[in-house]
Structure 1
Amino acid sequence: MPYTPPPDLAALSLEDIARMVAERRLPPVDQWHPAEELDSQMEIRADGSWWHQGGPITRPSMVRAFSTLLMRDDAGQHWLVTPQDRQRIAVVDAAFVAVDVARIDGALAFRLNTDDTVIAGPEHPLIARGDAETPAIYLAVRHGCLARINRSTWGQLVDMALEKPGMDEGTDGGLSVDSLGISFPLAPQ
């Protein structure tokens, strides 16, 4: 079946996004508990590129398919999970990269490098790590996996934070954005 890229985030309503998310039925990896453990010989690099045995995976459809099988355990290990086995996958920083954001009806909708759409909120919080000089912002995606907010998307978030009443460019790290009624800082506290 041919792949149809998702529409532009800014052109969607929250209802459109909710429908898209609901229509994308993901495998129930959280319900699978296979006993066999293997090494996938795969790596997700910091830029979001996927590699297998030292070579890049160049087919976006394969990356999208593999990404639906990802989970991260409590120890921080990432796995590709199937009903038959779970395979370790090395992740340099985060399993996903958030490549775009749009503010829609009081919510922040993010597009990931896998074309997934995630709305920041109680189930998908923004997490600030690093320090004030070099913050790293992440979005909780699913099954313990995170998306690193890329530089241009972080810039969009800063612009949104500066638009809030009472904010100005002289503010020293007190920037935050709101989504679904929750305020998320853009710098580690």
Structure 2
Amino acid sequence: MTDNNFDLAQASKTIEKAGEGVPPLEKWNPEFCGDIDMRIARDGRWFYMGTPIGRPAMVKLFSKVLWHEQGKYFLKTPVEKVGIQVDDAPFLLVSVDQQEGEYGPELVFTSTTDDQVIAGKSHPIVVEVCPNTQEPSPYIDVRFGMRGLINRPVFYQLVELAEEKEINGRSVLTLESQGETFELGSF
């Protein structure tokens, strides 16, 4: 399938038929139909044929059928799988709340597509540092092997919530969520 054959409206209707929430993508095995000109930018904006998708409801709908396989990203329905481009991470986390849970404090992240993820063993926080700029890029696992970039204001919130600990002779900023400890960085 090429962009000439891809029908954005028809794809939306097919996804809507799957119902609320994230459908069982792991059970669907459609044929690969080719790549389409759809891109998710590092700042979380979605583009189709170079134009921003301005309807948040449509972006949210497409985010439900995002799939990651062998380093590539797809939109996957019961009948087709099309490749898309993702600049960094397919999700952007834009808020975090603290709550008490079964295993103590929990950090609950929300994405631009209204996904909620609780940091823990299944959803670890990882901070990668650019070797050239030394700029940190914090991520959290969201679903199906895909992760979300934690935006800068939320990362600053996490730094404020973090505690300084001595680990292997170095000072490290750490956070706890669902009984797991995550390192934000050392200094």
Give the TM interval when normalised to the shorter protein: 0.7 to 0.9
Q: Is the 8 A contact 2:21 2:64 kept in 1?
A: no
2:109 alignment partner, SS class = strand
Residue number in structure 1 paired with 2:161: 160
- Counting matched residue pairs gives 158
Taking the aligned partners of 1:173 and 1:52, their CA distance within structure 2 comes to 45
Letter paired with 1:128: V
Question: What is the CA deviation profile of residues 12-39 of structure 1, one whole-angstrom value per residue up to 9, with x for unaligned ones?
Answer: xxxxxxxxxxxx5311111111123321
1:186 alignment partner, SS class = strand
Q: Which runs of 5+ in 1 are unaligned?
A: 1-23
Q: Which runs of 5+ in 2 are unaligned?
A: 1-19
Give the deviation of 1:187 after TM superposition. 2.8
Q: State TM-score, norm by structure 1.
A: 0.78
1:174 alignment partner, SS class = strand
Give the deviation of 1:131 after TM superposition. 4.5
Aligned equivalent of 1:102, options 86, 97, 103:
97
Q: Is the 8 A contact 2:97 2:109 kept in 1?
A: yes
Question: What is the CA deviation profile of residues 60-107 of structure 1, one whole-angstrom value per residue up to 9, with x for unaligned ones?
Answer: 00000000000111x310111011111111000110101011111100
Letter paired with 2:136: P
Aligned equivalent of 1:183, options 177, 181, 184:
181
Residue number in structure 1 paired with 2:73: 78
1:59 aligns with 2:55: yes
Taking the aligned partners of 1:173 and 1:40, their CA distance within structure 2 comes to 46
Taking the aligned partners of 1:94 and 1:45, their CA distance within structure 2 comes to 8
Q: Is the 8 A contact 1:69 1:81 kept in 2?
A: yes
Give the deviation of 1:40 after TM superposition. 2.5
Letter paired with 1:143: F
Q: State TM-score, norm by structure 2.
A: 0.79
Residue number in structure 1 paired with 2:46: 50
Q: Pairwise CA RMSD of aligned residues?
A: 1.9
Task: Select the structure with the greater relative contact order (CA < 8 A; seq sep ≥ 6).
Answer: 1
1:134 aligns with 2:135: yes
Letter paired with 1:122: K
Residue number in structure 2 paired with 1:93: 88
Letter paired with 1:175: L
- The runs of at least 4 aligned residues of structure 1 exceeding 3 Å deviation read none
Structure with the bigger percentage of strand: 2
